Chain A
Amino acid sequence: MPDIMENSAELKKQNQLLEVWKSLKKNRLAVFGLCLTILLILVAIFADVIAPYDPYSNDLANTFCYPCRAHLFGTDNMGRDQFSRVVYGARISLLVGISTSLFGMIGGIILGSIAGYYGSHTETVIMRAMDIFMAIPGTLLAMSIMAVLGQGVGNTILALGIGAVPRFTRVVRSAVLGVKGNEYIEAAQAIGASSFRIITKYIVVNSLAPIIVQTTMNVASAILAATSLSFIGLGVQPPTAEWGSMLSAARPYIRDYGFLVLYPGLAIMATIFGLNLFGDGLRDALDPRLKN
């Protein structure tokens, strides 16, 4: 019955996002991960409402206070409220994680789609350069860049972002190679579409799924890398409330006041855990090859 079919085709005209969401919803772990991530984002946004104290105000009368009703996570050697600092730390971590991933993603899309679309020598040059970058351990690369650029949030993002580009480039290139084989690319050439148009309107939009997954996963690893950098004193500098630098500052007191590392550590763990669960779920939902 053609009429009924056409109508149902129109009713079905909801975007693919809904499909993805439906399939994601079935995966409980992914939903849990998503909740954790959303919680983190809310905490970061409403940090000034949630935090009971100013994270930077010292209270020397109240140093090393154990967790209690007034200070949920206790206070540190300067008497600063740990809970408020963990809450504010979410802002920095999220900022670093997301900006780094976006940086890597944009770099990766540009280099990867150029390499994948044009092929031959262009591809060789770009991909070999990426291989060289990938041969350097990530933290080492970031440390070297930080050593040159100096410390601070902006430079941390830049250093980690540059480090993320090669992985994104690889993901984008392989996705592009897959898309490039489709006849609609040739169809676009046949109507006279320019290379720029083909890359942006045909190739990149059709390779978004793996790129989105890589971005989500990369947020987690970037947060971890940023905290590591702060921990060794290269990243975000004290007194900025950041989980890594909090761990670093608490190091001398671990034996006596374990709670000082416990809470920032837990915050890092929960964030990474949530993002990874969500990323895995997203990959399964976006990648139809894994569906039956």
Chain B
Amino acid sequence: MSENLLDIKNLTVYYYRDGKPIKAVNDLSFSLGKGETLGLVGETGAGKTTTAKAILKLVPEPQGKYESGEILLDGKDVLKMSKGQLRRMRGHDVAMIFQDPMTSLNPVLTVGEQIAEVVRLHSKVSRAEATKKAQEMLEMVGISGSRYTAYPHEFSGGMKQRVVIAIALACNPRLLIADEPTTALDVTIQAQVLELIKDLKDKFNTSMLLITHDLGIVAEVCDKVAVIYAGEIVESGTAEDIFDRGTHPYTEGLFNCLPRLDSEEGERLNPIKGLAPDPMNLPAGCAFHPRCPYATDACRQSNPKPVEIEPGHFVKCHVRGIGKEDA
């Protein structure tokens, strides 16, 4: 397991409202190897963003509480780090790209200053060197270095997201967390930004955790995929495992409800029935059972454990999670 950059083991994070727990992340485990890109796929409220924040120990306390589990970054538990260690880790080892480029930049500083600031925070360089590095980073993300002195409001959404990426990569982080990095952008701009992220990732050999609801983006960028539902990973494996041999009923449902580009006229979509569960009131047993067409009594009674159905391909399901040898 030592070759893994990130190992999340049995992470459980609750938020509390009026003393009652909101079960955002439940006993969640996954790992990410060096240089790999993992797509974390799920719908609104599935716990994607909470997981990302937990890796940086940024879940707002005291409303949010890390109930149990560990997040090992190079073998060190993030949840046990001191404030100083956390500060060094954030931005230097792990950087984050947020969904909304409009609000994640400081409007009163020039974009160059914002990049240089991060550089100076994490490496002992002179002001001039930081400025030079910031200009290099701008060039790297496809913005002319001469725009160092421009303010965020002078940029369009796509350009701002490039700046955010430049800030994130300024210190050569080993792990990049991208939380819906292109959701706020138009398709043609999204294509540009995805292309950029892929190029830079290869260039720096950065590991990436890409959080998204768009399976198309995952197919485009990711080596590995984890599907998250109600704060649990219901299925994980390589991109081939998920896209070609997706096994969990929820994964199946996600693919089925997408309009296909080769569908016939008048074809109907197959939505997953019902709604995502309320994290304050999770159903007993498997959290997906009320929406699952294959649910059995076992599903209503106990929550299944993840089963490795083929090497590296885990499924958390009573019905489908049967190892090859048992089938």
Give A residues with C-beta under 8 Å from B: 1-2, 4-5, 8, 292
Contact = CB atoms under 8 A, between A and B. Distances in A.
Contacts of A5: 275, 277-278, 281
Nearest to A22: B18
Q: Which of A1, A2, A292 has the largest number of chain B CB atoms within 10 A?
A: A1
A5 B283 CA distance: 10
B304 interface: no
8 contacts: A1-B277, A1-B278, A1-B281, A1-B290, A4-B278, A5-B281, A292-B60, A292-B63
A1 B277 CA distance: 6
Contacts of A8: 278, 281
B53 to A, nearest CB: 15
A292 B278 CA distance: 22
A2 B281 CA distance: 11
Contacts of B283: 1, 4
B41 to A, nearest CB: 22
B19 interface: no
Contacts of A292: 60, 63
Contacts, number: 20
A5 B281 CA distance: 8
Interface residues of B, number: 9
A193 B60 CA distance: 43
A194 to B, nearest CB: 36
Nearest to B273: A2
Interface residues of B, dominant DSSP: loop
A292 B63 CA distance: 10
Interface of B: 60, 63, 274-275, 277-278, 281, 283, 290
A292 B15 CA distance: 14
A2 B274 CA distance: 6
A2 B63 CA distance: 26
Contacts of B281: 1, 4-5, 8
Contacts of A2: 274-275, 290
A5 B274 CA distance: 10
Given A2-B274, A5-B277, 12 more contacts: A1-B274, A1-B277, A1-B281, A1-B283, A1-B290, A2-B290, A4-B278, A4-B281, A4-B283, A5-B275, A5-B281, A8-B278
A5 B45 CA distance: 15
Contacts of A4: 278, 281, 283
A8 B63 CA distance: 22
Contacts of B277: 1, 5
A19 to B, nearest CB: 11
A1 B278 CA distance: 8
A4 B274 CA distance: 11
Nearest to A5: B278
B44 to A, nearest CB: 14
Contacts of B60: 292
A4 B278 CA distance: 9
A178 to B, nearest CB: 18
- Counting chain A CB atoms within 10 Å of each CB, which of B60, B278, B283 scores highest? B278
A179 B60 CA distance: 30
Instruction: Pick the 4 closest A-B CB pairs, nearest first.
Output: A1-B283, A2-B274, A1-B290, A5-B278
A107 B156 CA distance: 43
A2 B275 CA distance: 6
A2 B271 CA distance: 15
Nearest to B277: A1
B59 to A, nearest CB: 13
Nearest to A6: B275
B19 to A, nearest CB: 12
A272 to B, nearest CB: 34
Contacts of B274: 1-2
A30 B290 CA distance: 45
A246 B281 CA distance: 61
A44 B278 CA distance: 49
Contacts of A1: 274, 277-278, 281, 283, 290
